[in-house]
């Protein structure tokens, strides 16, 4: 039997909206082993570090061109008081991280350490302030401490702590999940709080803050509408008022709630396909939020930000349930590839996304141990293979007649999803085959330019449960994919459960 073919047409001369590089953003919370034991080992550690930050973690992440890093939470942000995390480390107070494992937090990783981490990574800081248990003054002073030059009470304090120059902080979150751990507020009450807090989040000097209001969970459209009403009005035609510039939402992928979530590495075919259905459904959720935003802000001034996304499984055996530590398989990588295809298609309104979380928590890029072991996860490889999409012009990928589909509990899952972009004379195409048992031959017809060379890479394994460990770090790692170029067509074999990228040079 011959392999079925997946045909698509890509017009390389018809560039669409630019894929904001911030769609490849990250998230690091004081949660489990993300900060402590992940990024931060302390200056006295035997593991190589720069000022306490683990060197091999930074090196691995630099290869992803991480555009921004969100910190310090999540739920933690709404109980974090930034003044506890500055000054000599031995004098910093200990607090209890009540959200995550009820463990003591010694505040050794604070504002200066976070800014140093961003500098090492080459990433823009995205600081999330405390609305739930903090004050307007506290948040306003944090912005002043970070971003003001000249002389002021906060500037003097920063200089006394060893930092002369102001930092640049482009992104600021006004609380987190205000409908839940951030204060259990109702949408209108939070919308007013967001306006009040935002009023005192000043632009100091030439630092311009992009303020992001804490948004909905999944498809809670009432929340988005309350926030849009707080900055604009239906049909009044004026530009939204600039209290905040972005609105977030969170979307996690799993195949059931609570204890019904599958195990990170031990799952069956049904659980695999239900995961893909849930991951694909973020398209409907983004469209729904966009529709609300379009009706209040047709010019698209307010940005949509998905500042927490990723898979959420049962925790690894023997770990603190509050640490959310999980392995990461080829299934996770395919979820990431699918999300990026969808994110690219919403490039017009979706300006940022942050995977939860970068190291040792939920769908991480990197797993570490205290002996110096470091594992790059399959998800890491998708971020690396896809990095050429950052700030490239999106290109539509048309599958004539629609993609072949897989029936999952009565819902159709597209077998092959793809997206493409162009930067200069280079086109990058990403494609995932989500079927567990059917390979396909892709035949992508590139029109509007002539192909001079094509290089392919593929990420797959003999089963979707495959994952990397310290003992076997490259069980899932990209290898070369053979791509044939014939009359502007790119032809390649995509085996079951695989993700591939093809980089194409166009003749200029």
Q: Which residues are catalytic?
A: 177, 308
CB of 97 to ligand AHR, least distance (A): 11
Question: Under a CB-based contact definition with an 8 Å cutoff, are residues 72 and 105 in contact?
Answer: no
Nearby residues of 299 by Cβ (< 8 Å), 6 or more positions away: 239
CB of 233 to ligand AHR, least distance (A): 30
Judged by beta carbon, residue 215 or residue 378, the one nearer ligand AHR is: 215
Strand partners, 172: 127, 211
CB of 400 to ligand AHR, least distance (A): 40
CB of 175 to ligand AHR, least distance (A): 10
DSSP string covering 259-296, please?
A: GGSPPSS---HHHHHHHHHHHHTHHHHHHHHHHHHHHH
CB of 38 to ligand AHR, least distance (A): 14
Judged by beta carbon, residue 26 or residue 389, the one nearer ligand AHR is: 26
- What's the DSSP call for residue 89? G
Kindly state the tokens that stand for 278.
């849930």
Q: What are the backbone angles phi and psi of residue 383, rounded to the nearest 5°?
A: -60, -40
Nearby residues of 378 by Cβ (< 8 Å), 6 or more positions away: 328, 329, 330, 332, 333, 459, 466, 467, 468, 476
Q: SS3 letters for 216-250?
A: EECCCHHHHHHHHHHHCCCCCCCCCCCCCCEEEEE
CB of 223 to ligand AHR, least distance (A): 14
H/E run at residue 133: none
Nearby residues of 257 by Cβ (< 8 Å), 6 or more positions away: none
Q: What are the backbone angles phi and psi of residue 246, rounded to the nearest 5°?
A: -135, 160
Q: SS3 letters for 3-62?
A: CCEEEEEEECCCCCCECCHHHHEEECCCCCCCCECCCECCCCCCCCEECCEEHHHHHHHH
Judged by beta carbon, residue 4 or residue 256, the one nearer ligand AHR is: 256
Judged by beta carbon, residue 175 or residue 432, the one nearer ligand AHR is: 175
Binding positions for ligand AHR, rule: CB under 6 A:
29, 73-75, 176-177, 308, 356-357, 362
Judged by beta carbon, residue 47 or residue 103, the one nearer ligand AHR is: 103
| Beta-carbon count within 10 A of 309 CB | 23
Between the CA atoms of 315, 316, 322 and 328, what dihedral angle is there, to the nearest 10 degrees?
-70
d(CA 104, CA 122): 30
CB of 321 to ligand AHR, least distance (A): 13
Judged by beta carbon, residue 75 or residue 458, the one nearer ligand AHR is: 75
Judged by beta carbon, residue 36 or residue 499, the one nearer ligand AHR is: 36
- CB-closest chain residue to ligand AHR: 74
In our burial notation (b when 16+ CB lie closer than 10 A, e otherwise), range 13-27 reads: eebbeebbbbbbbbb
């Amino acid at each position: 039997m011959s392999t079925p073919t997946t045909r698509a047409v890509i017009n390389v001369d018809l560039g669409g909206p630019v894929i904001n590089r911030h769609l490849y953003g990250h998230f690091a919370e004081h949660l489990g082993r993300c900060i402590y034991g992940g990024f931060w080992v302390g200056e006295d550690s035997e593991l190589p570090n720069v000022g306490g930050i683990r060197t091999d973690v930074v090196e691995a992440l630099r290869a992803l061109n991480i555009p921004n890093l969100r910190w310090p939470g999540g739920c933690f942000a709404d109980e974090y008081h930034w003044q506890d995390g500055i000054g000599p480390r031995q004098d910093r107070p200990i607090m209890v991280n009540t959200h995550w494992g009820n463990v003591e937090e010694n505040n050794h990783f604070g504002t200066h350490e976070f800014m140093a981490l961003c500098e090492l990574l080459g990433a823009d800081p995205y600081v999330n302030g405390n609305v739930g248990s903090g004050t307007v003054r506290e948040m306003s002073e944090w912005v002043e401490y970070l971003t003001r030059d000249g002389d002021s009470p906060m500037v003097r304090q920063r200089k006394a702590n060893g930092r002369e120059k102001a930092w640049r902080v482009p992104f600021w979150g006004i609380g987190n999940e205000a409908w839940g751990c951030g204060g259990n507020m109702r949408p209108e009450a939070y919308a007013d709080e967001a306006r009040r807090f935002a009023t005192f989040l000043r632009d100091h000097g030439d630092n311009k803050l992009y303020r992001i209001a804490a948004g909905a969970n999944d498809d809670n459209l009432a929340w988005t509408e309350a926030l849009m009403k707080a900055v604009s009005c239906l049909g009044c035609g004026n530009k939204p008022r600039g209290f905040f510039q972005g609105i977030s939402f969170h979307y996690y992928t799993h195949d059931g709630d609570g204890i019904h979530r599958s195990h990170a590495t031990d799952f069956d075919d049904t659980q695999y396909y239900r995961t893909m259905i849930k991951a694909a459904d973020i398209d409907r959720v983004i469209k729904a939020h966009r529709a609300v935003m379009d009706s209040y802000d047709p010019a698209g001034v307010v940005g949509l930000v998905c500042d927490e996304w990723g898979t959420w499984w049962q925790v690894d055996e023997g770990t603190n349930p509050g640490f959310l530590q999980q392995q990461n398989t080829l299934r996770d990588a395919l979820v990431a590839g699918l999300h990026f295809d969808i994110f690219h298609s919403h490039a017009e309104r979706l300006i940022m996304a942050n995977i939860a979380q970068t190291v040792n928590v939920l769908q991480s890029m990197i797993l570490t141990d205290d002996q110096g072991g470091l594992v790059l996860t399959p998800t890491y490889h998708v971020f690396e293979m896809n990095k050429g999409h950052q700030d490239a012009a999106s290109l539509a990928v048309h599958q004539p007649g629609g993609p072949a589909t897989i029936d999952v509990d009565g819902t159709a899952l597209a077998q092959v999803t793809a997206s493409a972009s162009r930067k200069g004379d280079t086109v990058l195409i990403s494609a995932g085959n989500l079927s567990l048992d059917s390979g396909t031959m892709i035949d992508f017809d590139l029109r509007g330019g002539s192909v001079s060379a094509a290089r392919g890479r593929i990420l797959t394994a003999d089963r979707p449960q495959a994952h990397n460990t310290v003992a076997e770090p490259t069980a899932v790692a990209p290898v070369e994919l053979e791509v044939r170029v014939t009359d502007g067509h790119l032809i390649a074999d995509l085996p079951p459960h695989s993700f591939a990228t093809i980089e194409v040079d166009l003749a200029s």
